[in-house]
């Protein structure tokens, strides 16, 4: 699918209400919450957009339901990263591409982080390669955008608050569209 801001906005319009088993929020609510956490942290618009769109690969998949409950990894970070790289710079696409490995890195290096993982994130961890070896950790952390991916990953765990009220779908999608336009 060709990447455009209109295509992204239509994707969230059509599939943003999707829930994954083990997560308390819809894809759109998760995207909004992660985007807000990034904005509050004062990071660049590009990293804010990466936070918004890090799970777009799930929406691009034609498979229905929750991949991890069927025991497979949908490689959503690769699908999403490649999709976004068609339109945006690496500042947007690379943290998206790296957000799964950032989870593997954090689980391997920060015992407190594991406690933050949602049931679906725990279920997917093994399918995604599990903990990293020391060598893999050292390799990951020196990569360009590793720190951005780590920041994004922390918002990812925090952005699953089912108690939090989010604005109407049209408002959320309008915010997303405006930010995406800034990042082109």
Residue 67 near residue 73, CB atoms below 8 Å: yes
DSSP output for 14-44: HHTT-B-TT-SSBHHHHHHHHHHHHHHTT--
DSSP helix/strand/coil, 75:
coil
Q: Interface with Fe ion includes 148 (CB under 5 A)? A: no
Q: How many chain residues are in contact with Fe ion, going by CB under 5 A?
A: 2
Q: Interface with Fe ion includes 74 (CB under 5 A)? A: no
Handedness of CA 41, 46, 47, 51 (dihedral sign): positive
Minimum distance from residue 2 beta carbon to Fe ion (Å): 23
Provide the b/e sequence for 17-43 (b: ≥16 CB within 10 Å): ebebebbbbbbbbbbbbbbbbbbeeeb
Q: Interface with Fe ion includes 120 (CB under 5 A)? A: no
- The residue (of 91 and 156) whose beta carbon lies closer to Fe ion is 156
- Which residue in the set 74, 91, 148, 156 belongs to the binding site for Fe ion (CB under 5 A)? 156
- The residue (of 70 and 138) whose beta carbon lies closer to Fe ion is 70
**Using CB under 5 A, which residues numbered 38 to 57 contact Fe ion?**
55
Minimum distance from residue 100 beta carbon to Fe ion (Å): 6
- The residue (of 52 and 88) whose beta carbon lies closer to Fe ion is 52
Interacting residues toward Fe ion by CB under 5 A: 55, 156
């Amino acid at each position: 699918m060709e990447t455009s801001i209109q295509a992204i906005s239509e994707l969230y319009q059509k599939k943003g209400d999707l829930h994954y088993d083990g997560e308390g929020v819809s894809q759109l609510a998760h995207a909004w919450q992660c985007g807000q956490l990034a904005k509050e942290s004062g990071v660049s618009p590009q990293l804010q957009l990466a936070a918004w769109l890090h799970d777009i690969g799930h929406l691009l998949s034609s498979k229905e339901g929750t991949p991890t409950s069927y025991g497979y990894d949908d490689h959503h970070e690769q699908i999403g990263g490649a999709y976004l790289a068609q339109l945006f710079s690496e500042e947007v696409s690379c943290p998206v591409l790296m957000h799964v490995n950032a989870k593997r890195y954090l689980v391997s290096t920060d015992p407190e982080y594991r406690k933050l993982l949602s049931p679906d994130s725990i279920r997917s961890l093994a399918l995604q390669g599990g903990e990293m070896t020391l060598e893999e950790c050292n390799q990951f952390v020196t990569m360009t955008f590793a720190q951005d991916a780590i920041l994004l990953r922390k918002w990812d765990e925090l952005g699953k608050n089912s108690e939090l009220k989010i604005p109407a779908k049209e408002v959320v999608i309008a915010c997303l569209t405006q930010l995406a336009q800034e990042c082109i």
